[in-house]
Amino acid sequence: MKNIKIKKVEDYNDNYLEIVITEENELLKFLTITSYERLEIPSNICKINQCIFSVADEEISIIQKAHEENGFDENDYDYFMEMIYQLQFEEVYIPKTVTEICEAAFFYSEIQKFIVDKENTSFVYKDGLLYDKAKKILLACSGEVNDKLCIPKFIRRIGENAFSSMDCYDEITLDISEGVEEIGPYALASAFDISSIYLPRSIKNIGERALEYEEGEYPKIYVYKNSYAHKYVIEN
């Protein structure tokens, strides 16, 4: 059973809507038309779903119905849907209760920093990188990175849309260490700050459009001759 909370929030200039959709202990959506200094994931949440900040076609009717049930008129709904844009957060706080974060969870956002509760044993945030400790999956990168970003060798998979939430305003060199085996689909999508990427011999699989930051646009890509990455780059 989905629990949909809609409220109007006042800021200095105007009112805006905030929609939070949960199901049992899973965060499905967090939708708004403004930006936050700090977003706190509720303390009862165990799972953060994929793409919590964006609206898919099949979800529009659910949100529209919730608007009606909460007494908001059609103008509120139309305005909200027109104004949704890429959200910006200074901090995103992940509580100790969260044990699962889906790949691409933070797509459609710009996040300067993650904060993982000290008692959370599932996830680590270090050097601008948020990763699943047990599964060795890189889930997201924040804007809190230097001009060279190194992916640790213990990471096995770079998740879908992993770099889409970074916004550093500087050119970044992405150095992926030996040991990383997979790069998920759209990993570099919207990661315009990444100007060059070094791919190791250990790469065995690269997902759909994983190295494009925009359709048909790529950073400079450096590979080892005759490696899987070399063959991928030539073919694609």
Question: What predicted TM-score, i.e. pTM, was given to this entire model?
Answer: 0.87
Per residue in 4-17, pLDDT (tens digit) is 777 766 665 555 67
Give the span between the Cα atoms of 19 and 76, in whole angstroms.
Answer: 12
Helices (H), the chain: 57-69, 74-83, 228-235
Which residue in this structure is represented by tokens 């799972």?
47
Alpha-carbon Rg for the chain in angstroms: 19
Q: 12-46 b/e with 16+ CB inside 10 Å = b?
A: eeeebbbbbbbeeebbbbbbbbbebeebebeeebe
Per residue in 137-194, pLDDT (tens digit) is 999 999 888 788 999 999 999 999 999 888 766 789 999 999 999 999 999 998 888 9
**Is 88's pLDDT higher than 60?**
yes
